[in-house]
Structure 1
Amino acid sequence: MKLNNLQILRGISALLVCCFHFRETINFPGLNLGDILFKKGSIGVPVFFIISGFIMVFTTQNLPFSKGTIQQIVLFYKKRIIRIIPLYYLLTFAAMIPGGSFLLYFHREGFYELIHSLLFLPTKKGFPVLYLGWSLNFEMFFYLIFGLSLLFKKKRYYFIICFFILTSILGYNLSFENPYLQMVCNSLNLYFVAGIIFALLLNTYEIPKNFAAAISLVGCISFILILLAIIPIDNEWTKLFFISLFVLSFLTFDYTFRWKGNRLLIFLGDISYSLYLSHPFVEIALKKCNSEFYFSIPFFLIKIALAILLASLLYFFVERKITHYLKIKLKI
């Protein structure tokens, strides 16, 4: 089964994050249009987390444990490593170059920050060298726990759901100074759990079309209202509910309505990882370009177009090629 609409959602989420970071371009004197439209664009990140939780179940639900549990765990980690690390490492080193700061990352605090970035370990500073990598710290921790859950075979989902619920409760009741423990016990991990639950439910039950239509309508409208800050969501549980409902809306497009999706939007989903990680470089390249207010919207669109172009180049000439090469070398 092809999850074209979920792939489209991945692209939309990456684009939202781009717009969130580019929004200052269209903040006019007396009218902060960028903030009005995209101040909440960072919610694209928890959408990614839900998608990751869903995809991990979707792609591993029929694992042949007869071949050996340890072998399956090793294979799982190999696949995640070649999917995440190559492009992230490349862009991390690229992020060290602007401002002539490359050598500073090989000395004292800079070296500490670089090592933690490469090992996906959070620091008290809060952000790695490539600042968007903070979300990959969560992703890689999720993959670590998901891989370990394979030891429990058919009961693995009970383990991982209980683990993240318990750690979130722990984080809610206790305050940790250690940045790694803060991440482990962060409620953001519950978005992965939401994705896992959706995968288990949709692989077991079929949602009637009338009910799916209602979910889609409420999910999409509420997400737009939240994005525009018309509906404020300061409560983490309310935020979790509405963002999860939005993702479920796109899942019904695949599972209930069987929509094929638009090819261009699917392609945007294909390049979403490259788009997410590389779009800050467009901002760096154009930071000295000041546009008059009447040219701000076209300049904003140019930034988006350049970000998509850069992501496309990275996807075709780096991401796909390196992944293909490593799959052959690692015999995956």
Structure 2
Amino acid sequence: MVLIAYILSDNSFTFWNIIRSAFLLHNNYSGNPPFFEYNILYPAWSMTYEIYFYIIFAISMKLSHKYRVMTTTLILVFITLILQLFYNSSFSIYENVQLHGAIEKGLGFLNFIASPLMFNFKAGMAIYTIHDKMHLIKAKGLLSFVFINVFLCMYLYNYHYKHGIYGFGLWAIFLITGSLLYEARYQLTNFAPLIILGDISYSLYLVHPLVMHLMAANHESIPMYEKNSPAKFLMIVSTSLVAAYLLHHFVELPAIKLGKIVINYFHKRNKLLTAK
């Protein structure tokens, strides 16, 4: 994916940019958060936060599987709070917060670790925690209606149109909670197209900027692309979906299978060592 993105780019990236992109590292921690300048693979900026979260979550599971959500939340809150108070003598939930003096000391990466963007993951864990207890809520239908309509109002008004828990994170809280309440109330059956869309969502997230870039670079050869229209939108969406489906089946699934083989190998190896 990184090589494809590099080929489609203007080739202004260095070898070091390619390496950082391959390992999903931000391009420049002296840049403006939370993006820290896009690297070759545009969506990679957000996946770095995901990897950071997964590392903390794995540590929490090792400490206590039962209290993994609470442990992860406490660790993330503690790190964000301490770093911001130490460098800034204040705390902010806005996504563009920077630690004063960190860059000058060569510690710009701490701007990433201290990012309030991690509160999005804490919100996700909170929703996960209450999901199994939603059956106890009596007014699920009414609450679902309220939550989804609050989301629609935010979306249509562009309320706090920015990344972070105070922006899109807040939108997501209302949308996801409302949708889960609706599902719990009406016991929805599986809808195959949505299942497929969910399966390829990760690949879609990665590949859609490449599709858009490729189309924009070759717009003169693509019919119906010059003018903004429903046809252009449909063309971009359908092409992205096809590309994501192929990427999912020929890259993502084999990679998942390989990962399981490696995990099982080390799991069996640890069992043998423990038995001795």
Q: TM-score range by the shorter chain?
A: 0.7 to 0.9
* Residue 213 (structure 2) aligns with: 284
Contact 1:215-1:245 within 8 A present in 2 as well: no
Deviations 1:210-251 (A, max 9, x none): 2x2233212222222222235456796543444212111222
Contact 1:209-1:257 within 8 A present in 2 as well: no
* Residue 31 (structure 2) aligns with: none
* Residue 144 (structure 1) aligns with: 55
Greater helix fraction, Structure 1 or Structure 2: 1
Identity of aligned residues (%): 25
Amino acid at match of 2:70: Y
Q: How much has 1:285 moved relative to structure 2?
A: 2.2
Of 130-139 and 234-243, more deviation after overlay is shown by 234-243
Distance change >3 Å, CA 236–CA 121, structure 1 → 2: closer
Aligned residue runs from structure 1 range 129-278, under 5 A: 129-153=40-64, 154-169=66-81, 170-171=83-84, 172=91, 174-175=99-100, 176-177=102-103, 178-204=107-133, 206-210=135-139, 212-229=140-157, 231-232=159-160, 238-239=166-167, 240-278=169-207
Q: How much has 1:309 moved relative to structure 2?
A: 0.8
Amino acid at match of 1:215: L
Structure 1: gaps of 5 or more residues? 1-90
Structure 2: gaps of 5 or more residues? 29-35, 85-90, 93-98, 266-276
For residues 100 and 194 of structure 1, what CA distance do their matches in structure 2 show? 38
Which of structures 1 and 2 has the larger relative contact order (alpha carbons within 8 angstroms, sep 6+)? 1
Deviations 1:163-194 (A, max 9, x none): 22233334436444344211211111011111
For residues 260 and 115 of structure 1, what CA distance do their matches in structure 2 show? 44
Q: How much has 1:329 moved relative to structure 2?
A: 4.7
Distance change >3 Å, CA 202–CA 94, structure 1 → 2: same
Contact 1:121-1:137 within 8 A present in 2 as well: yes
TM-score, scaled relative to structure 2: 0.74
TM-score, scaled relative to structure 1: 0.62
Deviations 1:263-309 (A, max 9, x none): 1122111110111100122112211315454x622112111110011
Of 253-262 and 240-249, more deviation after overlay is shown by 253-262
For residues 111 and 99 of structure 1, what CA distance do their matches in structure 2 show? 14
Contact 1:121-1:180 within 8 A present in 2 as well: no
Amino acid at match of 1:123: N
Residue 98 of structure 1 pairs with residue 14 of structure 2: no
Contact 1:123-1:180 within 8 A present in 2 as well: no
